[in-house]
Amino acid sequence: MAQGGWGPSNAPGQGNGTNPYGVPQQPNPYGPPPNGQYPYGPPPPHPYPHPQPYPPRPQPALRRRRLGCAGLFVSPLIPVIRSSRRHAESIFNRPGGGRVEDRIVSRVQLWRALVGAAASLGLIYAYGADDGWSGVANDGVVKLLLAPILLMITGPLAILAFIGLAPATQRPVLRSRLRAPLKAVGWYVGILAGTVAVMFGAALLLKQNYGTLLNGLVALALLIGLIWLLPFMLFSSAYAARYAFNTANVHASLPAALTVVLVWELTLCSIALDGGLPHGPPLAQWCAVLGGPLSVTAVALWELHRMRTRYGVRIRG
């Protein structure tokens, strides 16, 4: 029976080698595809013999630093020193209502300190000192401990002068901000007294020839406490002198003014304690004595000018 001129029907069981459209079927040269995959022939070969084009590079072994005797002794002290510095800064560098933060001023102060320290070391290296480098170190520690004490003496006078020069409407505000400096002074007095008490107690217990085991354990505990307390006291002295016992919370210009007074007081005390000028020719002597105070005064005056012109902070309000 004809099917509309399209040839015999392609009913099931009538496989005559042709498809329904009359085109002969070509045999598959690669055979039947396995499991119905790759009906157009086998896949092309992988361009690389390995999954990765290049073999993995061997990783270098991590080298562990060998700590010597000094490293084994110093490495446990690093977290102790960091902890003492962090606690000292949190006490003597507290933010307040009257403070003005200027990064440019801080950078200039840092560079002035570095240049001044390098110049002082160069003069000492060239012309020497009375007691050598040990005397220079002792002089630095004495100045570090003396600076907060001088600030506690002259600081109240400067604060009273600033409050007196301020307008009458601003004086109650300035007086209300005195809590932060008084609290910082109390902290420093307590730290200094506590350190002296711990050192005296440890020395007293160690000198007892008839001491018991309990006395020895207490003395050992006090000595271990000094490992944290001594750096804490030194950092407290440095931050108390740097931030002038948080007097910036009272008035932003107070730290700069107190720094000028403090540096000239330390210069006079250094001349009085050392018994005269340092070694070297007259020009080097006067540079060593006046270089530091004059540079600090110049930076402080520039800071006051910058606060007045940039932030509108004036000494008389």
Q: Is residue 64 part of a domain?
A: no
Q: Is residue 53 part of a domain?
A: no
Q: Is residue 40 part of a domain?
A: no
Burial of 60 (0-12, 13-18, 19+ CB in 10 A): exposed
Q: Is residue 34 part of a domain?
A: no
Q: Is residue 43 part of a domain?
A: no
Q: Is residue 269 part of a domain?
A: yes
Which domain covers residue 291, as residue numbers?
Answer: 104-311
Q: What total of structural domains would you count in the chain?
A: 1
DSSP at 94: -
Q: Is residue 294 part of a domain?
A: yes
pLDDT tens, per residue, the chain with 317 residues: 444 444 444 444 444 444 555 555 555 555 555 555 555 556 666 565 555 555 566 666 555 555 555 555 567 778 888 999 999 999 999 887 777 888 999 899 999 999 988 988 888 888 777 766 777 777 888 888 899 999 999 889 989 988 888 888 888 988 988 999 999 999 999 999 999 999 888 888 777 755 677 777 887 888 888 889 999 999 999 999 999 999 999 988 999 999 999 999 998 888 887 767 777 788 888 888 888 899 999 999 999 999 999 888 887 76
CA distance 314 to 317: 5
Q: Is residue 161 part of a domain?
A: yes
Write down the pTM of the prediction: 0.72
